[in-house]
Amino acid sequence: MAETFEALVLDRVDGRTVWRLERLPVDRLPPGDVLVDVDWSCLNYKDALAITGAGKIVREFPFVPGIDFAGRVRESADPRFRPGDRVVLTGWGVGERHWGGLAELARVPGDWLLPLPEGLTTRQAMAIGTAGFTAMLAVLELAEQGLSADAGDVLVSGAAGGVGSLAVALLAGRGHRVVASTGRPELADWLRELGASEILKREVLAEPSKAPLESQRWAGAVDTVGGTTLANILKATRYRGVVTACGLAGGAEFTCTVYPFILRGVRLIGIDSVYCPRERRERVWRALVRELSPAVLERVTSEISLKEAGERAADFLSGRVRGRLVVRVQGGS
Ligand SMILES: NC(=O)c1ccc[n+]([C@@H]2O[C@H](COP(=O)([O-])OP(=O)(O)OC[C@H]3O[C@@H](n4cnc5c(N)ncnc54)[C@H](OP(=O)(O)O)[C@@H]3O)[C@@H](O)[C@H]2O)c1
């Protein structure tokens, strides 16, 4: 009998996306030169859009979602990888156009894989996942734009989410005074434990205002929310402040005048984790190993099963996930 592997499989039924756990033959995997035994995966906002069908992430069905995975190489036609090597993958369209990590096996081009960064377990790599990777990308951009630790308040929006919570911890670890904006005041103590100095209610930033500029408050910002929140952040960013935009949990469109840019020299930096070049990826992972303590990472992480990955996906869209969800596929270190 053909060898099989367990996967979370998406299908389209009566115009709706549905998920199920299914055993699939190994030869159903897409082409690629490296076959990986997946130990851990994780859930990100984009996975939630794919699994629930709320976003047009997946276009061909049946499909295995999961934009991230970490595990051990089983077979490799790529000379850079040997059986037994531990590897990590985030992005590259995996879980969107190429079958993803929410399965016991994944087959991908070797170019998309990185050796597991030294000092991390496969579980920790997935506790970080695309969300933590993106948080560090944003933090590095702020630093490269010249934002120093003594520059003043740095805002993180969507602070209790995956990108947000890790951005809070990373910025606080670098000595910034972090203001965490959240719609969940009940998580204020948890955000303070991660390093937030102040908590701001989500509504303060979500309310549309006609004023082209507000009083100058933010030296820098990591925005995971987009929409009106991003417009309001830009209006209240200080002279030569830096705002990184990575998300759309609150909306994809925003309306803003050019005044923050031409009167205050505000810089708006876009963050993309999916096609981030390999050298920068290695730099981001090195910084994560250096700066993110295992204790902090554990504090933001909850562990779920493959089945729970299907069940919990909708929680992202209603903003009910705290921090990171790591998915136990086969376990392992
Ligand atoms: N550009 C990239 O490469 C990249 C990479 C990773 C993620 N992203 C994007 O970044 C965003 C965050 O991703 P994630 O994985 O961290 O998701 P997440 O864990 O669901 O975090 C999003 C957070 O945004 C807040 N939020 C949710 N709905 C909201 C609404 N309607 N209005 C205002 N705030 C809302 C919530 O935080 P509070 O409860 O604290 O308010 C929520 O926890 C997503 O839009 C995702 O697509 C982009």
Q: Is 50 helix (H, G, I), strand (E, B) or coil?
A: helix
Q: Is 30 helix (H, G, I), strand (E, B) or coil?
A: coil
Structure confidence at residue 331 (pLDDT): 81
Each domain of the chain, given as residue ranges in start order, spans: 4-116+298-328, 130-270
Please report which residue ranges of the chain form alpha helices under DSSP H.
45-52, 122-144, 162-173, 188-194, 202-206, 227-235, 259-264, 278-291, 294-300, 306-317
Both tokens assigned to 167: 């951005």
CA 257, CA 210: separation in Å to the nearest integer? 10
Please, how many CA atoms are within 13 Å of residue 158, restricted to the half-sphere of its CB?
A: 33
Nearest CA to ligand 1 atom 4: 246
Out of 44, 49, 94, mutate this one to test ligand 1's pocket (max ligand atoms within 8 Å of CB): namely 44
**Residue showing tokens 């994944």:** 106
**273 C-alpha to center of ligand 1: Å?**
14
Residue 170 near residue 141 (C-beta atoms within 8 A): no
In degrees, rounded to 5, the angle at the alpha carbon of residue 39 between the alpha carbons of residues 33 and 40 is 110
Percent of the chain at pLDDT > 70 equals 100
**131 C-alpha to center of ligand 1: Å?**
9
CA 297, CA 288: separation in Å to the nearest integer? 10
Average pLDDT over residues 194-208: 97
Both tokens assigned to 223: 């925005």
CA 41, CA 24: separation in Å to the nearest integer? 18
Nearest CA to ligand 1 atom 37: 158
Q: Which CATH class is domain 4-116+298-328?
A: alpha beta
Fold of 130-270: Rossmann fold (3.40.50)
Q: Assign residue 227 a region (left: φ > 0; alpha: ψ between -120 and 50; beta: otherwise).
A: left
Q: Residue 319, Cβ neighbours under 10 Å: how many?
A: 16
Average pLDDT over residues 313-332: 94
Structure confidence at residue 2 (pLDDT): 73
Q: Residue 247, Cβ neighbours under 10 Å: how many?
A: 28
Q: What is the pLDDT of residues 256-307, one digit of tens each?
A: 999 999 999 999 999 999 999 999 999 999 999 999 999 999 999 999 999 9
CA 298, CA 321: separation in Å to the nearest integer? 15
**262 C-alpha to center of ligand 1: Å?**
29
- Residue 36 reports pLDDT greater than 90: yes
Residue 324 near residue 166 (C-beta atoms within 8 A): yes
Residue 52 near residue 313 (C-beta atoms within 8 A): yes
The answer for residues whose C-beta is within 8 angstroms of residue 280's C-beta and 6 or more apart is: 137
Q: Which atom of ligand 1 is nearest to the CA of 91?
A: 3
Structure confidence at residue 263 (pLDDT): 98
Mean pLDDT of the chain: 97
> Residue 273: CB within 6 Å of ligand 1?
yes
Percent of the chain at pLDDT > 90 equals 98
**252 C-alpha to center of ligand 1: Å?**
12
Structure confidence at residue 15 (pLDDT): 92
CA 39, CA 107: separation in Å to the nearest integer? 14
CA 191, CA 185: separation in Å to the nearest integer? 10
**314 C-alpha to center of ligand 1: Å?**
13
- Residue 316 reports pLDDT greater than 80: yes
- Residue 222 reports pLDDT greater than 80: yes
Nearest CA to ligand 1 atom 27: 319
- Residue 251 reports pLDDT greater than 70: yes
Structure confidence at residue 74 (pLDDT): 98
- Residue 104 reports pLDDT greater than 90: yes
pLDDT level of residue 82 (50, 70, 90 thresholds): very high
The answer for residues whose C-beta is within 8 angstroms of residue 230's C-beta and 6 or more apart is: 157, 223, 243, 245, 254, 256
Structure confidence at residue 1 (pLDDT): 62
